[in-house]
Structure 1
Amino acid sequence: MATLAPPTTLPVRVLLVDDQTLVRTGFRMVLDAQDGVEVVGEAADGRTGIDMCRTLAPDVVLMDVRMPGMDGIAATALIAEECPESRVIVLTTFDLDEYAFAALRAGASGFLLKDVKPAELLASIRAVAGGDAAISSRVSRRMLDLFSQRLPAGHPDAGHDAVAALTPRESEVLSAIAEGLTNTEIAQRMFVAESTVKTHVGRILMKLGLRDRVHAVIFAYEHGLTSHRRRG
């Protein structure tokens, strides 16, 4: 009886969008040295990035925020609208960059600092390509503080219609996501298996029509569904 060959895992196809040649070169060198990742193109501005995204259909776009012409925010919004299968990770120099926040609102699935370590960059690319989200662990809590400052204060009943389909447990998981907890941390808090949490997260995203965890956090803040408090 013939033995079937195992299925081939396709590499994650990445598009680099940054106006600085040295930055693109640095990221390409890091990614080219990794198995399972393929850099399919480079663009020096947002408009070119969108055109290449339409043509190349990358799995992940590493998007700079500040660029001449069309910046990363506008480019991210158009990619989210026109190339929904391509996920965007925003790259910025400053961990509380208001432009990065705006890009997340525009549809980005991740937020990383440009000095991210290669291992974290690779893990983030793979996570986003798999439908998850990626926010640098070193700034995730501060990003939540930024969310609470930038978003309008939600009313407890404001999201009633949108969350009516959620079970009590799913609502609890959504609130925990908004606090910045990982699946592991949520599982420990609720005394359930991590796989159970993953199932809840998937159902929450599906029921609310959200792309990933980043947008679940934004949704929770906009609709007053979190008990997170600002610092200070």
Structure 2
Amino acid sequence: MKVLVIDDDAMVTAGIKTIIEMATKGLAEPFKVVGVGHNGQDALRLYPETRPDVILMDIRMPEMDGIEAGKALLSLYPEVRIIYLTTFLEDDYIVEALKLGAKGYLLKTDYESLIPAIEAVANGQHVYGDEIIAKVPAYLSQEHHVQGNVARQGLDAVDLSTKEVELIQWVAEGLNNKEIAEKMHFTEGTIRNYLSAVLEKLELRDRTQLAIYYFKHMV
């Protein structure tokens, strides 16, 4: 597994490199940090040279920040997989990361999740820390008054029923199956069936990806 690390703090990049390589040392295929950069321009230069499986990238950096670098990378290399590894939980950053197509967003302090997150993203999954997911429903709630019609139009394209659209909105707002069942006046079993059908239609893995899908495409 090849990883590219981009952060303007040299101590942070050195620490992440050590954590990644030491934590995977005993694996049949240890992770390798194939490059280290300190701003978005470095990311643009190093990606085609190193072709990593995953990029770990900070957001606030000089010359070119992580969001701008992510947009540029994805426009040039749509296959790129970016995990934002940052100290910032500002809503604007989370929104931009979701919109541009980042595969993950973790806090730098969440070191225990780092290796599993890299593996998951390399395998095509999305990974967002609990703190990030907790903020998504709040943002959706703030934007709910302008999202309804847009959501309906966007979801019509995949032939979802009104009830399925309602289910997606409740999932995106953080409700569990029991709470959704109470809201929609169905049994939990019916909600589980609805959820499975929606995930299959949208080709998504789980309810977290469903919430992220709603947030990315309907805001």
Question: TM-score when scaled to structure 1?
Answer: 0.71
- How high is the sequence identity, in percent, across the aligned residues? 30
1:217 to 208, 211, 214: 214
Aligned match of 2:145: 153
Distance in 2, Cα, partners of 1:173 & 1:127: 26
Amino acid of the structure 2 residue aligned with 1:14: V
Pairing partner for 1:203 from 201, 206, 217: 201
- Secondary structure (helix, strand or coil) at the match of 1:78 reads helix
**Counterpart-to-counterpart distance in 2, 1:32 and 1:95:** 27
Q: Secondary structure at the match of 2:119?
A: helix
Describe the SS at the equivalent of 2:148.
coil
Alignment-derived partner of residue 95 in structure 1: 89
Pairs within 5 Å for 1:1-232: 11=1, 13-33=2-22, 34=24, 35=27, 36=29, 37-96=31-90, 98-118=92-112, 120-149=113-142, 151=143, 153-164=145-156, 165-168=158-161, 171=165, 174-180=168-174, 190-191=188-189, 200-201=198-199, 203-205=201-203, 213=210, 215-219=212-216, 221-222=218-219
Amino acid at match of 1:217: Y
Counterpart-to-counterpart distance in 2, 1:59 and 1:117 = 19
Residues 39 and 65 of structure 2 are in contact (CA less than 8 Å); yes or no, is this contact kept in structure 1? yes
Equivalent residues of 2:120, 2:126 under 8 A apart: yes
Once the two structures are TM-superposed, the CA of residue 90 in structure 1 deviates from its matched residue by 1.1
Matched to 1:136, the amino acid is G
Structure 1 residue identity aligned to 2:104:
G
Partner of 2:184: none
How far does residue 155 in structure 1 lie from its aligned partner after superposition? 4.5
More helix by share: 2
Q: Judging changes above 3 Å, is the alpha-carbon distance between structure 1 residues 117 and 199 closer, same or farther for their aligned structure 2 residues?
A: farther
Matched AA of 2:119: R
2: CA distance between counterparts of 1:153 and 1:76?
A: 29
Per-residue Cα deviation, 1:49-88 (whole angstroms, up to 9, x for no partner): 0221123222211110100000011001112221221111
What's the secondary structure of 1:74's corresponding residue?
helix
Paired residues, number: 201
Distance 1:215 1:44, change over 3 A: same
- Give distance in 1, aligned partners of 2:124 and 2:151: 24
Supply the AA of the counterpart residue of 2:199: V
Cα distance in 2 for residues equivalent to 1:178 and 1:94: 22
TM-score when normalising by structure 2: 0.74
Shift of 1:170: 5.5
**Structure 1 unaligned spans of 5+:** 1-10, 207-211, 223-232
- What is the alpha-carbon distance in structure 1 between the residues aligned to residue 53 and residue 176 of structure 2? 23
Kept in 2: contact 1:91–1:114 (CA 8 A): yes
RMSD over equivalenced CA pairs, Å? 3.4
SS at match of 1:132: coil
Which aligned runs of 4 or more in structure 1 are off by greater than 4 angstroms?
A: 180-183, 196-200, 212-215
